[in-house]
């Protein structure tokens, strides 16, 4: 039975990006998550390591598509814990230094300076293939929603957070040994990410799991959450209104992008509405409005420091 990570990988590897610049962005992401560059006897080289044959075949096709060359198998090491082979592919020889420079020129710094949505989406998809994993809640096991990326350095992780923010995806980052981990832990954020990278069957699976989880918890929700959720919603609404008023008084509210200002004004004008009702008045999804209000609160907290 396929894991949820494998379902996402299968969706992403279903087709190559249409534009060469997007192929290079995807290769840059793979280099940052599962790749390495060095200098050997034959000069500079770069390599990718993966555990999935599907991902390996896709990596080879990306390099062939971008440069018309075939990577060679450098090694296959058995991982006894996972029962899988770690496959390493290498690109070396004449022209490799130029290829490597072109790949690295399409990395996070390029996307930050010259943002293109299609290349950014390809970078996010490549990052999942190279260093991503995702787990969903399972019956009888106390697990939640969790999607993460293993990134080469914490500095790159911060740039990666900024890239996610371009798609209104709120994530966190922590150091883990010599590398960094960027993570998303809400069902809504994971669903939005899957939508961004075009992982449609994985998104349907997420929605199915979420619906089943919702149904199994419905009895407790009916019994316990009516008053409790109303209280929490009222507290959240009051906190948001206080923060928005303070931002307005400081003049920081007027400097925000229009979507954030609209969310702030809607919350101020209708403090008693639920998140779903408020989203409906704005013509956006509940998860989108939640992202915007959370971002407003984060901006307020940062200004308070």
**Average pLDDT of 227-252?**
76
Range with the poorest average pLDDT among 25-34, 169-178, 237-246: 237-246
Percent of the chain having pLDDT more than 90? Answer: 47
pLDDT tens-digit readout, 72-83: 888 777 666 666
Do the beta carbons of residue 67 and residue 118 sit within 8 Å?
no
pTM higher than 0.75 for the full model? no
Q: How far is CA 274 from the centre of its chain?
A: 27
Q: How long, in residues, is the chain? A: 305
**Cα–Cα distance, 210 to 212 (Å, whole number):** 5
pLDDT for res 222: 58
CA distance 81 to 61: 29
In the DSSP assignment, the letter for residue 186 is S
* Domain extents in the chain: 4-213, 228-298
More confident residue, 24 or 37: 24
The string of pLDDT tens digits covering residues 50-103 is 888 899 999 999 999 999 999 988 877 766 666 667 889 999 889 999 999 999
Residue 77 · residue 31 · CB < 8 Å: no
Residue 191 CB coordination number (10 Å)? 21
Does the structure show a pLDDT above 70 at 268? yes
Count CA atoms closer than 13 A to 268's CA, side-chain side: 15
Residue 59 β-bridge partners: none
Averaged pLDDT for residues 5-29: 95
> What share of the chain in percent tops pLDDT 70?
90
Residue (of 118, 138, 169) closest to 16 by Cα position = 118
274 contact partners, CB below 8 Å, separation of at least 6: 233
Q: Domain 4-213 falls in which CATH fold?
A: Endonuclease I-creI (3.10.28)
Tell me what the mean pLDDT of segment 16-23 comes to.
95
């Amino acid at each position: 039975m396929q894991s949820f990570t494998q379902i996402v990988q299968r969706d992403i590897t279903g087709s190559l990006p249409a534009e060469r610049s997007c192929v290079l962005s995807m290769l840059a992401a793979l280099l940052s998550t599962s790749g390495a560059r060095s200098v050997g006897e034959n000069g500079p080289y770069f390599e990718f390591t993966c555990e999935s044959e599907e991902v390996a075949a896709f990596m080879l096709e990306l390099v062939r598509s971008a440069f018309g060359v075939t990577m060679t198998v450098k090694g296959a090491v058995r991982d006894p814990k996972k029962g899988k082979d770690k496959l390493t592919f290498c690109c070396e020889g004449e022209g490799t230094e130029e290829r490597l420079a072109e790949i690295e020129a399409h990395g996070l710094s390029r996307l930050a300076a010259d943002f293109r949505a299609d290349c950014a989406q390809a970078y996010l998809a490549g990052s999942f293939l190279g260093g991503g994993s995702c787990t969903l809640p399972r019956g009888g096991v106390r697990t939640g929603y969790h999607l993460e990326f293993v990134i080469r350095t914490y500095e790159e992780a911060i740039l990666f957070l900024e890239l996610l923010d371009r798609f209104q995806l709120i994530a966190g980052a922590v150091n883990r040994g010599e590398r960094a981990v960027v993570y998303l832990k809400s069902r809504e954020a994971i669903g939005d990410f899957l939508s961004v990278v075009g992982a449609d069957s994985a998104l349907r699976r997420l929605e199915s799991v979420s619906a089943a989880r919702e149904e199994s918890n419905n009895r407790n929700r009916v019994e316990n959450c009516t008053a409790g959720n109303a209280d929490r919603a009222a507290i959240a609404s009051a906190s948001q209104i206080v923060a928005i008023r303070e931002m307005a008084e400081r003049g920081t509210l007027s400097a925000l992008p229009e979507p954030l200002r609209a969310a702030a004004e809607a919350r101020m004008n209708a403090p008693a509405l639920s998140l779903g009702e408020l989203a409906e008045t704005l013509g956006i999804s509940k998860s989108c409005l939640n992202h915007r209000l959370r971002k407003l609160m984060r901006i307020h907290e940062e200004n308070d420091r």
